[in-house]
A and B are shown apart, each in its own frame.
Chain A
Amino acid sequence: MDHTDNIIECRNLTHYYGNRKIYENLSFNVPQGRILGLLGKNGAGKTTTINILSGYLKPHSGECLMFGQNINTMSNEMRRRIGLLIEGHVQYQFMTIQQIEKFYSAFYPEQWRRDAYYELMNMLKVAPGQKISRMSCGQRSQVALGLILAQNPELLILDDFSLGLDPGYRRLFVEYLRDYAKSENKTVFLTSHIVQDMERLIDDCIVMDYGYIMTQQSVKSLTDTFKKFTCTVPEGYSAPNKIEGLYHPFVIRNTFEAFSFLNQDKVEEILKATGVPYSNITSEKLTLEDAFIGLTGMY
């Protein structure tokens, strides 16, 4: 992909909270028209990355460009092109759904799509005078989404969009957002702690572990190439903690499990070379959630 097709470009981001290193030399791009999900365990630095991208955290070093401009000097025009969803679907709770639409519309006069907002509000069946503070978390998420859709930005940055939502609202959010992003060719960068939701929504993913990016690729290529290998080992055998080319090998009773991007022949070569007494090896295609756990481990 051409360099200019990247809506977001982050280069060598390093950040610390006090002495605690969050990550070092983190680099990634978000191409135009793609929905990219940032996956990572709690504390891996997802919200830190979102905060840096939205201009609310100054990284220790490194730089981020959005639409080719450095985010440290984010212009009004650039902010107009970015829709931001804060963790927990935060919005002005003291406003009603009518007031908040009136307020935001004044800041985006040429791009505001009032109908997109009210279409979503009508689905909620709430009165226009309903205060946001008196709405459920699910309803608030729809208000926040409706405002972003009405803003009609080129780039959407969503921090943990599924936080606090029941399955129905999560599904509604995901389907509405995907349909909007694909039909309007929008770029979306998002995080969520519920990986199943991501699988329905995202095109590409970045999997983060503590301090670094493990992989960035399309969900399809990840789930096609990253597999779980299961084989039988003698009772009482304990697996080595680390085997080159395999992720998180472990043994439960007489079953050995490990994950790998390699094909079965290569995995068998590695097992033989490591001296694992295996038999009956099988490989299994993974869901995104399984692949995420395979890459990052359960602990």
Chain B
Amino acid sequence: MIYYKEWIKTRWYLLLMFLATNGFAGYSILRLFRASELKGIAHIWEMALTRDSVFIEIPLQYIPIIACAGLALVQFIPEMHNKCLKLTLHLPYSPVKLLYSMIKFGLLACVAVEIVNIAVLLLGIIPLFAHEIYWRIILTSLPWFLAGIASYLLTSWVVLEPTWPRRIFNIVLSSLILRVYYLSSYPESYNSFLIYLSIFTLLLGSLSWLSVQRFKEGKQ
């Protein structure tokens, strides 16, 4: 039933997130089509092969972190408003399970939207490129999508933190953590690291419980 509450809180934002992120994905594809019409597909291939261009980094690179952070804000600011989280934690259900049910809802929503984003990208680039090139584009973009998941988990951690000094510290630390996902702009440079980055990203979920623990202890 906790999902019912999360759905009521986030449904309009999820619709906006779905439309906006896919709008940006579609826009990236449209730009690529336009460039191929203006300069010819041979030129686009040449760019991909000789200049390591993946074409979609603008504007897609930072869209997942913004969209997923927005979801965490929409989901957890109402919980912290007037300390509403007390009501949630007072429900006759394990507080850990309650928190991670809320996080699971948000994570699944982020992953679902990102899968659709990737599908939109694939649908757009498959007709233009050989599979080596379009997989290269997708693999290059995966750290950005992982950054989206990380930004959701980190924003949850920040918002659930009950005190402002620690919240500011969490924001600074979160910014540094998110920098890890953008260390290299070279295509596929994260390939050998993606599995570890995925595990690291999921582990960030444990931080939210620290904030809730502090909330339960009455830190203010």
- Contact check, B1 vs A86: say whether CB atoms are below 8 A apart: no
Is B9 located at the chain interface by the 8 A CB criterion? yes
Q: Give the shortest distance, in Å, between A240 (CB) and chain B (any CB).
A: 40
CB-CB nearest in chain A for B88: A92
Q: Find residues 77-96 in chain B having any chain A CB closer than 8 Å to their own CB.
A: 78, 81-84, 86-87, 89-94
With beta carbons under 8 angstroms apart, the residue of B9, B86, B92 that contacts A80 is B92
Residues of A within 8 A of B82 (CB): 86, 88, 90
The digit string for A37-77, where 1 denotes a CB below 8 A from any CB of B, is 00000000000000100111110000000000000000011
Q: Find residues 85-112 in chain A having any chain B CB closer than 8 Å to their own CB.
A: 86, 88, 90-95, 99, 102-103, 106-108
CB-CB nearest in chain A for B217: A58
* Assembled-state Cα–Cα distance A126/B220 (Å): 36
* Assembled-state Cα–Cα distance A54/B86 (Å): 9
* Assembled-state Cα–Cα distance A79/B8 (Å): 24
- Contact check, A55 vs B91: say whether CB atoms are below 8 A apart: no
- Contact check, A57 vs B217: say whether CB atoms are below 8 A apart: yes
- Contact check, A86 vs B83: say whether CB atoms are below 8 A apart: yes
Known: A58-B217, A88-B82, A90-B84. A107 touches B5 (CB 8 A): no
Q: Give the shortest distance, in Å, between B121 (CB) and chain A (any CB).
A: 33
Known: A56-B216, A58-B218, A86-B87. A103 touches B78 (CB 8 A): no
Residues of B within 8 A of A213 (CB): none
Is B193 located at the chain interface by the 8 A CB criterion? no
Q: Give the shortest distance, in Å, between B94 (CB) and chain A (any CB).
A: 7
- Contact check, A56 vs B86: say whether CB atoms are below 8 A apart: yes
Q: Give the shortest distance, in Å, between A277 (CB) and chain B (any CB).
A: 51
Residues of B within 8 A of A108 (CB): 92
With beta carbons under 8 angstroms apart, the residue of B1, B83, B93, B215 that contacts A76 is B93
Is B169 located at the chain interface by the 8 A CB criterion? no
Is B4 located at the chain interface by the 8 A CB criterion? yes
- Contact check, B90 vs A54: say whether CB atoms are below 8 A apart: yes
CB-CB nearest in chain B for A106: B1
Number of A-B contacts (CB under 8 A): 68
Residues of B within 8 A of A82 (CB): 90
Is A84 located at the chain interface by the 8 A CB criterion? yes
* Assembled-state Cα–Cα distance A107/B220 (Å): 29
- Contact check, B92 vs A77: say whether CB atoms are below 8 A apart: yes
Residues of A within 8 A of B218 (CB): 51, 56-58
Residues of B within 8 A of A55 (CB): 89-90, 216
- Contact check, B94 vs A76: say whether CB atoms are below 8 A apart: yes
Q: Give the shortest distance, in Å, between B209 (CB) and chain A (any CB).
A: 16
The digit string for B182-220, where 1 denotes a CB below 8 A from any CB of A, is 000000000000000000000000000000000111101
Q: Give the shortest distance, in Å, between A43 (CB) and chain B (any CB).
A: 14
* Assembled-state Cα–Cα distance A56/B94 (Å): 15
* Assembled-state Cα–Cα distance A143/B1 (Å): 20
CB-CB nearest in chain B for A147: B87
Q: Give the shortest distance, in Å, between B60 (CB) and chain A (any CB).
A: 31
The digit string for A282-299, where 1 denotes a CB below 8 A from any CB of B, is 000000000000000000
Q: Give the shortest distance, in Å, between A46 (CB) and chain B (any CB).
A: 14
Q: Give the shortest distance, in Å, between A77 (CB) and chain B (any CB).
A: 7
Residues of B within 8 A of A86 (CB): 82-84, 86-87
- Contact check, B92 vs A107: say whether CB atoms are below 8 A apart: yes
In this complex, which of A82, A88, A91, A94 has the most chain B Cβ atoms within 10 angstroms of its Cβ?
Answer: A94
- Contact check, B1 vs A94: say whether CB atoms are below 8 A apart: no
Residues of A within 8 A of B215 (CB): 56
- 29 chain-A/chain-B pairs, Cβ below 8 angstroms: A17-B220, A54-B90, A55-B90, A56-B86, A56-B215, A56-B218, A58-B218, A76-B92, A77-B92, A79-B90, A86-B82, A86-B83, A88-B82, A90-B82, A90-B84, A90-B87, A92-B5, A92-B84, A93-B84, A94-B9, A95-B8, A99-B4, A102-B4, A103-B1, A103-B4, A107-B1, A107-B91, A107-B92, A108-B92
10 new A-B contacts at CB < 8 Å, known A58-B218, A90-B84: A17-B220, A56-B89, A57-B218, A76-B92, A90-B87, A92-B84, A93-B84, A94-B9, A99-B4, A103-B5
Which B residues lie at the A interface, using CB under 8 A? 1, 4-5, 8-9, 78, 81-84, 86-87, 89-94, 215-218, 220
